[in-house]
Amino acid sequence: MTQRVAIELTVNGRPVRAEVEPRLLLADFLRDHLELTGTHLGCEHGVCGACTVLLDGDPVRSCLALAVQANGTHVETVESLTQEDGSLHPIQQAFADHHALQCGFCTPGFLMTVRGIFDDLPGMTEAQIREAVSGNLCRCTGYANIVRAVQQLQRDLQLQAVRDPATRSGSRVDDRGALRDTARSEVK
């Protein structure tokens, strides 16, 4: 029997402690142990991007990362986009408004990839947006509507910055679509 390893991490803002086999993939840990099934497994080789989650704010392929590698980190899954009032997160709303999904299998990976570049969106060109989402595969949409959705989100963020000067002076939109101060304290 394989020796189990104790891990502690934060998943979608909640502390998690578990004992896992050293070879357990982060995707399997999220889906099977935490029942966060929004993280989809497509290719299981890191090619398709359907399993993308944020690890300390950076998009990663959870089918390539081991759960033990997430020890001491903050993980965000697509479930983290859930709004307290049941409304869609601005990223989800932009995808819905532009029909940027069809079968929906790849959508969680796209949403988390876009969440990973959320803070950089206001200054990104269309080419940079296309490059940022190019690591995610979609066989249904042809990407045009996905890019349009991200551009709409970009325009919404720019409009919000014009309406609220706080976004221009050290604040940003957080993962719930609300403004917050960008000065973050490191949690170790």
- CATH 1.10.150.120 range(s) for the chain read 90-187
Contacts of 81 (CB under 8 A, 6+ apart): 89, 91, 92, 111, 115, 175
Class of domain 90-187: mainly alpha
The mean of the pLDDT values for the chain is 87
Over range 49-58, report the average pLDDT.
Answer: 96
Q: Domain 5-78 carries which CATH code?
A: 3.10.20.30
Residue 4 carries which DSSP code? Answer: P
pLDDT digits (tens, 9 = 90+) for 141-157: 778 999 999 999 999 88
- pLDDT-wise least confident of 13-22, 45-54, 82-91, 155-164: 155-164
Question: Would you say 167 and 160 are in contact if contact means Cβ atoms under 8 Å apart?
Answer: yes
- CATH 3.10.20.30 range(s) for the chain read 5-78
Handedness of CA 33, 62, 141, 147 (dihedral sign): positive
pLDDT digits (tens, 9 = 90+) for 101-110: 888 899 999 9
